Amino acid sequence: MNQHINPTAREDVLPINDDLEIRYSLFLDGTTYVRPLGSWRLWTPQMFVPPDTNRVIGAMYDAGVEWDLYEHVSLAVAGTADYIFTGSAGEISQTWQAGYHNVENGGGYLPRGSFTRHFRNDFELCCVIRRFGRSSGTNYRFDVITEPTALSEAALFVHYAAGPRQRQTDLNTMPGYAVDLAAGGIAIICTTR
C-alpha cells in the first residue's frame, strides 16, 4: 500500500543552526512511500545545472527524469530502497544503497514530479534540510566526499555521515582542516555561497 506519510521506524534530529538540521531516518522494511509533487517547496531552489559526475542522478537524467536543484542533501547510509521515477518513456526504477546521494553542483537534485520509494534491508537516509519555517537568508552550498581531504576554504560544518565518526559534526572549520575519512567514510561539507 502506498503511503503519503514517511514510514519511519526511527528519526534522529541533529540541529546545526537556526536554519539547518541533519536528520537520520530509518525506514520500515516492506513499506512504500510516495513523495508527493511539491513536497520540497520549503527548500531553497538553486540555479539548475545538469548532473555530470553524480551518475546515480545522471543515469535518471539521461533516462528523461526531470530534476531541479535545491539546497538539500539526501545520502543513503544503510540498506536498500527501490526508487521509482517517471522518465520520458514511463516509469523507471533504481535501487539505492549505502553511498548513493543526490548532491552535485552545490545542491541536491530532486525530481520535478512525484516519485515512489519502497524500503528494504533497514534503509536509512541522512538528510540535511532547512528547519521548518526558518530562513536567515543565508544561501548554503553542499558537497559530499568519500576520501580524506584538506579543505581549501572555511566551512560552516563538516558532518560525518558514515564511517567511524558517523553522526559527528565539526563546526566552523578553517581552510586546511583535514576531513578524516577512513574506508567507507562519507562526509557532507556545508559552505555559504
Within a domain: 116: yes
Residue 40: strand, helix, or coil: coil
Dmax (CA) for the chain in angstroms is 50
Cα 126 to Cα 7: distance, rounded to the nearest angstrom:
15
Residue 18 falls in which region: left (phi positive, over 0), alpha (psi -120 to 50) or beta: alpha
Under 8 Å between Cβ of 105 and 140: no
pLDDT of 190 above 80: yes
Within a domain: 141: no
Q: Label residue 1 by pLDDT band (50, 70, 90).
A: very low
Q: What is the DSSP-derived secondary structure letter of residue 174? A: P
Within a domain: 146: no
Segments forming the whole domain that contains residue 99:
2-136
Q: Label residue 170 by pLDDT band (50, 70, 90).
A: very high
Within a domain: 21: yes
Q: Label residue 152 by pLDDT band (50, 70, 90).
A: very high
Give the model's pLDDT for residue 154. 97
* Residue 124 identity (one-letter amino acid): E
125-146 pLDDT, tens digit each: 999 998 876 777 889 999 999 9
Within a domain: 153: no
Q: What is the DSSP string of 76-132?
A: EEEEEEEEEEEETTEEEEEEEETT-B-EETTEEEEESS-EEEEEEEEEEEEEEEEPT
Within a domain: 142: no
23-79 pLDDT, tens digit each: 999 999 999 999 887 776 667 788 999 999 999 999 999 999 999 999 999 999 999
pLDDT of 96 above 90: yes
Under 8 Å between Cβ of 148 and 180: yes
Within a domain: 124: yes
pLDDT of 2 above 50: no
Ramachandran angles phi, psi of 95, nearest 5°: -95, 115
7-24 pLDDT, tens digit each: 999 999 999 999 999 999
CA Rg value for the chain: 16
Within a domain: 75: yes
Ramachandran angles phi, psi of 59, nearest 5°: -65, -40
- The domain that holds 40 is classified in CATH as 2.60.120.10
pLDDT of 88 above 50: yes
pLDDT of 116 above 70: yes
**Counted domains in the chain:** 1
